[in-house]
Amino acid sequence: MTAATPAPVGTRVPLYIPGILIAVGSASIFSTDLYAPSLPHLPGVFTTTASMVQLTMSVNLAAFALAQLFHGPLADRFGRRPILLVGMIAFALSAIAAAVAWSIGALIVARAFMGVAAAVEAVVVLAVIRDLYDELAAVRVLALYNMVIAIAPAVGPLIGGYVHVWLGWRANFWILAAYIVVTAFAIWRLLPESLAERDYHALRPHRFISAYADLLSNRTFMTYAVASGLVLGGLFAFITEAPFVLIDRLGVPTQHFGFFQALVVAAFFLGSLLASRIASRVASAKLFAAGLMTTVLGGAAMMAVVYAVEAPWNIASAMALYAAGLALTFATGPALAMAAGRHVGGGVTAALLSTLEVGGGAIGAATVAILHDGTAWPMAFTIFGGATAALFLWLALRPASDPGETVSRDVQR
């Protein structure tokens, strides 16, 4: 199969395709996790406040979320592969811009452009999965994708912490740029075009505005997308605030911060493995609900830890419980939402889904930045509040007929 030939839907998909998608998704995660251990040190570097430094997270996520609304129609019009290649090149350039930033303002701008470029990955990965797999297979592939890609947020802070100590915070962005270039080369050489037929009218404003309006009025789609965004907000509240809590407040050495995040990632990995193993026997909607309930328990545990026994490993353990639930929701939620929006263009559906998910992450990061007071309470409140809101939303708006139940019945037959 050549790179210019559309991948035949319904045939056996080569194993290197998920491998490339995983590499692409890892680049996006590395853009945040490599320099996360450096965050508490940047106020001193740029003579600024912790809240300003945390804006490099929330602005990046907001740009990432909003840009997808445009990347989706572009992917439907020009195809998945060319849009992904252009996005990865822009991604590498923005990483270089961050590496040479001379002020906190310059770093924030570079991180905003990085979010715009990295957003292409989120749209295209989901769209390619929808192009090539049916719903049940998509749940399995997403679970595998989440399970393997979980290595990135485990490895990222470990590498980033030691690189910060040995070479300085800027070196992490140079490493990121090199990784993106290698990944872009693999895309150019190996990734086929998965879109069977381009939509030459996808960029007409009335087309994608109408498509987005259709999805926004789709209760099933919105329930899964918004609930997923709320729990992702808790994760990014932790990613944004935990370096300050663990390193500044509790005295964890910068190069050791990654070990605490690795526990959280391990829990996410095991949750994804569980979802992959039982996806064919348990309705996707039930797995999603179980994930939401587990995140609420994790949020409650975080509140209890901060109130009674605040310590690095206790905080990491509470977040690990939350991450296990997050794995179940993200192994099922995207597939259920994409199935609910199957009548709309794949790029547009993936774009709005990821916009709502990452938008929730941006809100979580912005919340802890605004409430930052040097304690762990803003992080704990945001994690527990987001998970609780997601569960109540799903309980209130869950559709009577759920795509996940249809999948389960099909498997049993």
Mean pLDDT of 12-23: 77
pLDDT higher at 8 or 226: 226
Which tokens go with 195?
Answer: 């879109």
How sure is the predictor about 106, in pLDDT bands with cuts at 50, 70 and 90? very high
Q: How far apart are CA 305 and CA 321, in angstroms?
A: 13
Other beta carbons within 10 angstroms of residue 353's beta carbon come to 28
Beta strands in 226-372 (DSSP E): none
- pLDDT of 207 above 80: no
pLDDT at 392: 93
pLDDT at 135: 64
How sure is the predictor about 177, in pLDDT bands with cuts at 50, 70 and 90? very high
pLDDT at 402: 54
Percent share of the chain, pLDDT over 90: 37
Percent share of the chain, pLDDT over 70: 88
pLDDT at 292: 95
- pLDDT of 412 above 70: no
pLDDT at 202: 66
Please provide the DSSP assignment of 43-70 as one string.
Answer: HHHHT--HHHHHHHHHHHHHHHHHHHHH
The mean pLDDT value of the chain amounts to 84
pLDDT at 296: 97
pLDDT at 130: 73
Q: How far apart are CA 112 and CA 97, in angstroms?
A: 11
pLDDT at 181: 94
Mean pLDDT of 52-58: 90
- pLDDT of 407 above 50: no
User: Most confidently modeled of 17-31, 132-146, 320-334?
Assistant: 320-334
At which residue do the structure tokens 């439907």 appear? 76
Return the domain boundaries, the chain.
16-192+202-408
CB–CB of 215/345 below 8 Å?
A: no
Of the candidates 274, 242, 272, 237, the one whose C-alpha atom is nearest the C-alpha of residue 259 is 242
- pLDDT of 346 above 90: no
Please provide the DSSP assignment of 315-367 as one string.
Answer: HHHHHHHHHHHHHHHHHHHHHHHHHHTTTS-HHHHHHHHHHHHHHHHHHHHHH
- pLDDT of 167 above 90: yes
pLDDT digits (tens, 9 = 90+) for 309-332: 889 999 999 999 999 999 999 888
pLDDT at 134: 67
pLDDT at 347: 64
How sure is the predictor about 397, in pLDDT bands with cuts at 50, 70 and 90? confident
Contacts of 134 (CB under 8 A, 6+ apart): none
pLDDT at 381: 95
CB–CB of 245/383 below 8 Å?
A: no
Architecture of domain 16-192+202-408: Up-down Bundle (1.20)
Mean pLDDT of 381-387: 95
Mean pLDDT of 345-359: 78
Which tokens go with 353?
Answer: 């889904």
pLDDT at 233: 92
Q: How far apart are CA 295 and CA 390, in angstroms?
A: 9
How sure is the predictor about 12, in pLDDT bands with cuts at 50, 70 and 90? low
pLDDT higher at 13 or 44: 44
Which tokens go with 22?
Answer: 């995983």
CA torsion 239-245-247-252 (nearest 10°) is -100
Mean pLDDT of 164-187: 93
- pLDDT of 408 above 50: no
Out of 88-102, 228-242, 338-352, pick the least confident.
338-352
CB–CB of 75/127 below 8 Å?
A: yes
Of the candidates 321, 308, 328, 230, the one whose C-alpha atom is nearest the C-alpha of residue 267 is 321
Q: How far apart are CA 378 and CA 67, in angstroms?
A: 28
How sure is the predictor about 258, in pLDDT bands with cuts at 50, 70 and 90? confident
Q: Indicate the length of the chain as a whole number.
A: 413
- pLDDT of 162 above 70: yes
